[in-house]
Amino acid sequence: MNMQTTVRPSTVGAELVRRAHGRYLSPLASLLLFVAMFVAVVGSYSFASPAQVFLNLLVDNAHLIVLAVGMTFVILTGGIDLSVGAVVALSTVLLATTLRAGWPMPVAVGVVLAVGPSLGLLMGLIIEYFDVQPFIVTLAGMFLARGLCYVLSVDSLPIKDPALRAFGLNYVYLYEDKFIRWTVVLALAAALVGAYVLHQTRFGRTVYAVGGNRQSAQLMGLDAAGTRVSVYAISGLCAALAGLLLAVQKLSGYSLNGVGLELDAIAAAVIGGVLLSGGVGFVLGSVIGVLVLGTIQTFVTAANLDSYWTRIMTGALLLVFVLVQRLVVRKTG
C-alpha cells in the first residue's frame, strides 16, 4: 500500500505563524517601528532628501553597528559585555598615540585590532574557567580599558595620517548626490560577516545552542566552553574596529570617547529582538535596533529638544521590547 504524506497548506501557514510569533516577532516589530518612526520624522520636519537622511543614519552610527554585531554574539550565549565602550575609547587613544609616536599606519591599526580581542579573550577565559559572572568580569574590563586610556593620554590627540583622514572624510556616491562614507561600507561588511558566521557556520550554530541550553549543547558534543570564550574575543575585535571607525570619523583619539556606548549596543540588540537570556536573535535585528536609536536622535535634533530626551525615549522603548520578549517567552515556552 503506497502511502504518501502530504503537507497541508493550513499546516504550513500555522507553522509560519508560530515562527513569526516566536523568534521573528521582536525583529519584525522593531522593523515596523523603525519604518513608522522614520516616516513620521521625515514627514513632520520636511527634510529635503529623505534618502540622504536614511544614509546619514548609517554614516553617524557606523561604529555602533559594528559594536552591536559583537554584542549580539555575546548576548546570544546568555552573556553581557560592559567593556566595549571603554575598548572603543582605548582604540581611539591607542591609534592616535602610536601614530603620534611615528609608527607606520598599518602597524598602528594592527596593534589596535590586536589589543581589543586580546582583552576580550582574557575576559572570556576568566568567565569560563573561573566561573565568574560576565557582568563582574566585563565591568572590571571596562575600568581597566578606561584607565589605560588615561595612562596613554588625558588630552584629545589629533589624527593626521593622510590615508586615515581620506578614509574617514571621503564620500562614496551611490547615485546622483546621495552618499555614504567608507566607514559605512566597512560597518555593513562587518554586519554581513557576522550574519554569515551565525547562520552558515558550525560555530554560529553552536553559539545559538549554547545560549539556548548549554547542557544540551555539551551532550551533542559541541564545544560550549570554547564558544563562550570566543564570543568575548569577537566582541573585543568588534569594539576595536568600532574604535577605529570612530577615530577616523572624529579624526582624534580621546579618553572620554565611547562613554555609554556599551549601553547603546545592548539597547540596539534588545530592541532588534536579541533575547537577553540567550539563544534567540539576529545580527540584522541588531542593525535595525541601531537605526531605531539613530532615528530617535534625528528626531531630538530636528525638534530642537534637549539631549536627555534621547535617553528617555530609548529607555521607554527598551522597556517595551523587554516586556514583549517576556510575553514571547511565556507563549513559546
Q: Which CATH class is domain 50-332?
A: mainly alpha
Highest mean pLDDT of the ranges 11-25, 30-44, 97-111: 97-111
pTM (two decimals) = 0.91
The conformation of residue 130, written as its DSSP 8-state character, comes to S
- Mode of pairing for the β-strands spanning 178-181 and 171-175: antiparallel
Q: Tens digits of per-residue pLDDT, 221-263?
A: 999 999 999 999 999 999 999 999 999 999 999 999 999 999 9
**Model confidence at 18: pLDDT above 90:** no
The DSSP bridge partners found for residue 179 are: 173
Question: CA torsion angle for 55, 60, 61, 63 (degrees, to 10)?
Answer: 120
- Residue pointed to by grid coordinates 527598551: 318
The average pLDDT across 40-62 equals: 91
CB atoms within 10 A of CB 277: 12
The predicted pLDDT at position 19 comes to: 47
The conformation of residue 311, written as its DSSP 8-state character, comes to H
The DSSP bridge partners found for residue 178 are: 175
Polymer length in residues for the chain: 333
